Structure 1
């Protein structure tokens, strides 16, 4: 597998400068006083210092802090003269601020969700159900955010996926070269004209029958009746059949209209239909040209072995089945012409005349500029113009030639990579920094225009753009992506309880997982949009629930399936992130709670003070279990090892406090064996009795939490770890946050307006 070597240049430069430049004394110092414990044979704390080219920006900061406060080298090790150590500390401090060592290459590949959004915005594609990134490999992020440049490499295989994806997306967007607006047609199909997919399904005398959830019913050659992308009215005459009286009592028979296109399927509409009586059911849905819409009975659930195969399927009752008599397709309805995809891709309000050379040149110039998110160089325009003309000589079709040329543009590194220079960002780089931070997509035309004139660098204009973009609906991408990754809630569902475990049956019966995730996202959005203090993440008197989550939490709720803001009682164990089931679920393994994991989560995700990795010589958490009945007793046995005590002293108290919540977030006071849970502890010198007390202890560390919160947002936005110079800016923003009562919108604004966002 070949990897494009965009990211290795700075580490080679680091090694050369350390070996030959003003920082060269550090190498022999490390060799003499550090490598014994942090070298090829031993790596205490998982730290290795014998090869300076592999020291990251984060580690340079840690080295500085350890040396500054006298923690390293440790007292029992050989010590250098104080004057020499002081000189080395100054050098390490300088390196931790030096862009040459701590800021990697300005190349960052678009991650998968950014690619998806960028293609949609570049081509004007609807997000109804076509996913441009459907055929692209998932990102492999080792740690941190999915914007981390060091993880976003590109391979030959991935490049082919991008080229294939671009071609499919362009064919979807530019589906016709007809200049005339398509006229709506209305066509009705009877059951003899149907295709019926699915085992045990059939075409009967009066209607088609679908007997399993897999498969569906649709007219033959249906794609021929969707001549253009747009809205269509789909109408069918249908009924449910074969349900026993007890099944009918369970609820109405459900039928889904499903759209399938380019490997993606999506439910377009669900209907509650009658049993044993035909009815008319209609819906207006968005369909791409070439899509396959079909009907499926979602109440159908049978096993083939229960069927008497010698009977005719129509008579093999009682068997739940969906019966459809006819299907009518009408459309496209109120189609926009030219389609929005043409207006966006070609930047034209009319269907372009490809025969005009000036029109072709302008189309190409506009597309390259938008795709590359900067001004176009003459040599680039000439190269792609020649490629376009070569394609036309091959196929004699201008639309297909543009599609192939655009695909080549979208498979280039200028499109797939965000490129930034070390130092202050240029106007176009700044426009991309803002848009990918807040929208996870390319800049819009307003940002492009301001970047093109250079006005974006004007502080007043820049501030206005920040305000506009935060309030734009596209900011939902930041509101969703950042908290899911910051809090690791994107891992929700990877360690579910067993479906046959009765004590967690409510998790599946009520489908709680989506509600858990939505509570955290709604909570984050509310704190941001309402400009609440970020201390609400530590504790609050409100949260978001629906009726099922309220039942799990055992709190009063007047509502239904919709998530709503609720006020919590003063003595509630809910409120803040630590009261949310999503956090309890991701810090469990589906079978039991994990207090060490929970404690580590509090220290790492919330406070930014994670303990170092456990040394290799420390045994796994399975000491002698004789007499152990609780997690507290187990941890006490484990931490009696001197090698473990230091970390577990700070990690165990918050983890044990969270033992008050089970694997799916229910509050509890005892374990299954009736052993009582003791959630008391001591956090940073503050004693607490339970989870409520832990939250109060965390609030005493608000400044630490705020600092970490700013660091996390900055790393997400910059796509790299911060260096010491960045941390100086974080301190300034944190000081402002305290003066502004820690209000979230003010903090985000200060981050965006600072040099953290305006420089690489």
Structure 2
């Protein structure tokens, strides 16, 4: 495939020889300044003569073809914009796009002349760029981004649960990633947030020590939860029985308990009692909120749940629902009440139900894991990392999300059948923990204060105030035992018999860890001086040390990645490797190898690269890399249209599984060193029951994501047809071949598209009168649009068979009431209807003339250019790993990486290894 069009300044000459002189003068000046070395033949003949013979005839002040005027266009090596335009000229001539053979005004270009020009210009550009890199380095100095800052503090202080990323301002982006120094500026707002975030994390380390929780196992019964039991009895006048929790014993209803005529719980039936639900979480009324438990400290826990699925009978007689009050009531909604449950008739379940587990600590729940309840009672276990004071919530995620529409309660359970509807019952939750982290046995407190004692003292200037979870429940009114633990403030101090000596020792150790290398003695003395000033003002030892530690964690030595131009030292390699594969700071093993000067040994570096990839922390790389390379971070930027795609509304299990599929897929490419061609097409993916149903893949049951071999006839496989990618390349209402096609050409093939010209954008017609293909055909008639659309549109058309959430479609959805509506019920219990518009046409033709009928054909065509796919993946990984764009002079290094990786089919793990072993990675 040819490269993208060149954009040059609007300057030309009517005198070709004048142009040659201007071009030549720019090259001679650059050479005289020491920027490049250019041979006499190159200066006098090849580059200027080629432009004179083949370019200026059309790109002059009179003709201005393509809006290009070359008269004043000199080579200026130190001007990035000028340099990039020469690179584009090189690329377009090399690709054969310029001079175009179809234009009679241009002479025929002999292959040897084209090759000579490309080689000569490449040498000039390479030498100029290498000269600059030798002075300045490939990358400018950069700070840690939000992801890295959070992970660095988590690992430094062994606080795997602490959440800091969202406390910091968003990072800038360059070359698609948040790793490039030119986009990572520092403002006073960021500095204030660094200080507050560091202070928060340091206090959490002290709180962890103060709470001093040993590992315990505690069982919490569903019948003890006030948030559940209070829903046994309907509110006065309410008919919204779908929202009610209800008592269950041995899988059957307890009408007397539900009516309040029998005790909620009895010792003789304690282990057999359960609380049932037939709806999912929409608000605080939904799900099971286990408020009797709040995590006493942050850390690793094991959660166990016992429960089963059930079936609730239907409600019986149909009735009208009314709008208004008093005499003004009018019937507006006829509801067959078999859609409503009869909570006094409960039977064993008919299938498994996925149960989501969430942590709640104010605001939206945080997903922790999932499992499936079956018709038979069973115990299910998940391992989680909890934040202090976090509450657990469980939720039947497949079930519908009830909500009140105004005051009328007009909704229908979409899973209901004439004889009833599914639900589930939970008996108890058991919590075991907190556990010591086996990967990081040293606590954050030990990193900060070693074994110095921590004592509770009276509040005052010399104390540090911590928020900890009370060990005793706070009673709730007249319901003894129904209270929940709650945060309380305590004042503490670290006991030191020799504050100055302890401060010096502790700061020295901490500074070397935080700086990722031995710290400058002057820096060390500055932080010691800060401690002494604070302590001299009457602040206590712990408070003064926290001030010094906070300053360290907001200082350039911690915030900025220290790299000098040229070959990196071992400490810089250790930091770059950890930031690449863990998105964090180097651990003790990497720092020790750096101190011994061993990381430059290729075998040692290879071993460490494998160790980091095989560590669970490499999932941070996968998540962050896909967040930016594939735009997964933008998944929730749009929501499915309430008019056209109501069936996707509130379908969080589908959204969640879509993101997990892509993350697990890329993780598998890395883990198993799978060939880069899997990016375009693969025989496998990762699915659970909900996503498999979305993809029409049979035989998948349960909420657990697992690796699945796709049916031979499936259109899925690879990234292009994954729901997450198809979601982020749509706007929730419509799809555009331009947007999706541009995404493929840039993210998968590595071709950059110039900004569009100032012409009106094409908006798909949701009325269904014309297709987007018909609109684009008219749009491409504009010459300024045609060349780019010829490249972008075909890949986009190949994906037109997928809707805004990645579901397969044969026809567009449209607002066209002349067509019979397709009716259904959403997860919110509301009716919806949409209309089918015109048929989808997913055929197209690549710029080289290769036709395709659908996405399967299109994938096959892309796989004929396997090296192009691998080259782009290598470039994306290089930008992410080095924090710098792939420069023109880096291209030979990328080709060398590809040559070495070819024997392993361009496996992703192999590409990572080859990048780490390259000069690109080991030099600034």
> Aligned partners of 1:257 and 1:571: how far apart in 2?
35
Pick from 530, 534, 538: which aligns with 2:676? 534
The question of whether the paired residues in 2 share the 8 Å contact of 1:95 and 1:102 is answered with no
Tell me if 1:684 matches 2:848: yes
- 1:108 correspondence with 2:127: no
SS in 1 for 2:636: coil
Q: Does 1:640 align with 2:802?
A: no
What pairs up with 1:151-550 in 2 under 5 angstroms? 151-175=183-207, 212=285, 226=296, 246-247=340-341, 248=343, 266=366, 291=389, 293=391, 340-346=443-449, 354-356=496-498, 357-501=500-644, 505-506=647-648, 508-509=650-651, 511-550=653-692
Which of 1 and 2 has greater Rg?
2
SS in 2 for 1:418: coil
Larger CA deviation: 456-465 vs 707-716: 456-465
Q: Does 1:656 align with 2:797?
A: yes
CA distance in 1, matches of 2:803, 2:516: 49
Q: Alignment partner for residue 34 of structure 2, among 22, 27, 51?
A: 22
CA distances 1:565-593 after superposition (whole Å, capped 9, x unpaired): 22223332222222222222222222222
Q: 1:565 aligns with which of 688, 704, 707?
A: 707
Q: Is contact 1:121-1:441 (8 Å) kept?
A: yes
Mapped partners of 1:333, 1:739: distance in 2:
44
Tell me if the contact between 1:97 and 1:723 (Cα under 8 Å) persists in the aligned partners.
Answer: no
8 Å CA contact retained: 1:35, 1:49 = no
TM-superposition CA deviations, 1:570-626 (whole Å, max 9, x none)? 33222222222222222222222211112212211111123333223x443379999
Q: TM-score, normalised by structure 2?
A: 0.64
Q: 1:581–1:48: structure 2 CA closer, same or farther, 3 Å change rule?
A: farther
What SS does the corresponding residue of 2:685 show, helix, strand or coil?
A: strand
Question: What does residue 117 of structure 1 align with?
Answer: 151
1:728 matched to 2:892? The reply is yes
Mapped to 2, the partners of 1:228 and 1:747 lie a distance apart of 37
Is the partner of 1:565 in helix, strand or coil? Answer: strand
Quote the offset at 1:347 in angstroms: 6.0
Task: For residue 561 of structure 2, give the secondary structure of its aligned residue in structure 1.
Answer: strand
Q: Residues 242-269 of structure 1, C-alpha deviation per residue, up to 9 Å, x if partnerless?
A: x996345799999999866698864779
Residue aligned with 2:751, SS: coil
Relative distance call for 1:436 and 1:666 in structure 2 (3 A) is same
TM-score (norm 1): 0.76
Q: Does 1:149 find its partner at 2:188?
A: no
Cα displacement (A) at 1:116: 0.8
Partners of 2:710 and 2:214 in 1: how far apart? 56
Query: Contact 2:676–2:866 at 8 Å: present in 1 too?
Result: no
1:441 shift after superposition: 0.2
The answer to whether 1:751 aligns with 2:910 is no
Q: CA deviation at 1:144?
A: 0.7
Q: Distance in 1 between matches of 2:356 and 2:523?
A: 49
Distance 1:558 1:328 in 2: 29
Alignment counterpart, residue 62 of structure 1, candidates 78, 85, 88: 88
Judging by fraction of residues, say which structure has more helix. 1
For structure 2, the 5+ residue unaligned runs are 1-28, 108-112, 237-259, 265-282, 307-312, 316-339, 374-379, 410-427, 455-493, 813-835
Match of 1:666 among 780, 791, 807: 807
1:501 Cα deviation after fit: 3.2
* Secondary structure at 2:797 match in 1: helix
Label 1:359 to 1:77 Cα distance change in 2 as closer, same or farther (>3 A): farther
Report the alpha carbon displacement of residue 139 of structure 1 after superposing the two structures with TM: 1.8
**Secondary structure class of the residue paired with 1:109:** coil
Contact in 1 for aligned 2:289/2:391 (Cα 8 Å): no
1:572 aligned counterpart, secondary structure: coil
Determine helix, strand or coil for the equivalent of 1:673. strand
Please report how far the alpha carbon of residue 444 of structure 1 lies from its aligned counterpart in structure 2 after TM superposition: 0.3
- How far is 1:59 from its partner? 5.4
Q: Is the 8 Å Cα contact of residues 35 and 131 (structure 2) preserved in structure 1?
A: no
Q: How has the CA–CA distance of structure 1 residues 705 and 450 changed in structure 2, closer, same or farther, with 3 Å as cutoff? A: same
Q: Does 1:601 align with 2:743?
A: yes
The runs of 5 or more residues in structure 1 that have no matched partner are 1-16, 237-242, 274-280, 309-325
Deviation at 1:54, TM superposition (A): 4.6
C-alpha distance 334-751 of structure 1, shift in aligned 2 (>3 A): closer
Q: C-alpha separation between the residues in 1 aligned to 2:525 and 2:369?
A: 48
**CA 1:335–1:188 in structure 2 vs 1: closer, same or farther (change >3 Å)?**
farther
CA distance 1:542–1:459, change in 2 (3 Å): closer
Greater displacement, 291-300 / 99-108: 291-300
| Distance in 2 (alpha carbons) for counterparts of 1:542 and 1:462 | 31
Q: Which moves more between the two structures, 143-152 or 485-494? A: 485-494
- Alignment match, 1:708: 872
Does the 8 Å contact 1:234/1:282 carry over to 2?
A: yes
2:318 maps to none
Q: Secondary structure at the match of 1:701?
A: helix
Partners in 2 of 1:757 and 1:44 — Cα distance? Answer: 39
711, 727, 740: which one aligns with 2:904: 740
Out of 568, 574, 577, which is 2:719 matched to? 577
Mapped contact 1:256–1:267 kept (Cα < 8 A): yes
Offset at residue 720 of structure 1 (A): 1.4
Q: Secondary structure at the match of 2:167?
A: coil
- Judged with a 3 Å threshold, the aligned counterparts in structure 2 of structure 1 residues 738 and 590 are, in CA distance, closer, same or farther, namely same
Q: Say if 2:772 is the partner of 1:631.
A: yes
Q: Give, in angstroms, the shift of residue 651 of structure 1.
A: 2.2
Q: Give 1:746 shift.
A: 1.7
CA-CA distance at 1:355 after TM superposition: 2.7
Distance 1:272 1:660 in 2: 33
* Match in the other structure for 1:239: none
Partners of 1:623 and 1:638 within 8 A in 2? no
| SS in structure 2 at match of 1:516 | helix
Which has more strand, going by share of residues? 2
For 2:905 and 2:89, how far apart are their aligned partners in 1? 33
Q: 1:256 to 1:454 in 2, by over 3 A?
A: closer
Asked whether the equivalents of residues 63 and 92 of structure 1 are also in contact (C-alpha less than 8 Å), the reply is no
Structure 1 contact 96–102 (Cα < 8 Å) conserved: no
Once the two structures are superposed, residues 531-565 of structure 1 have per-residue CA deviations (whole angstroms, 9 ceiling, x without a partner) of 22111112222222221222222122232122222
RMSD: 5.5
- Secondary structure class of the residue paired with 1:125: coil
Deviations 1:46-67 (A, max 9, x none): x999996452876564354346
The 5-angstrom pairing of residues 549-560 of structure 1 reads 549-560=691-702
Select 1:126's aligned residue among 160, 166, 179: 160
Count of residues in Structure 1 that have an aligned counterpart in Structure 2: 703
Per-residue CA distance 1:116-148 (angstroms, 9 max, x = gap): 100111111132xx3133421222326511112
Contact 2:299 2:435 in 1 (8 A): no
Residues 354 and 447 of structure 1: CA distance in aligned 2, closer, same or farther (over 3 Å)? farther
- 2: CA distance, partners of 1:724 / 1:64: 10
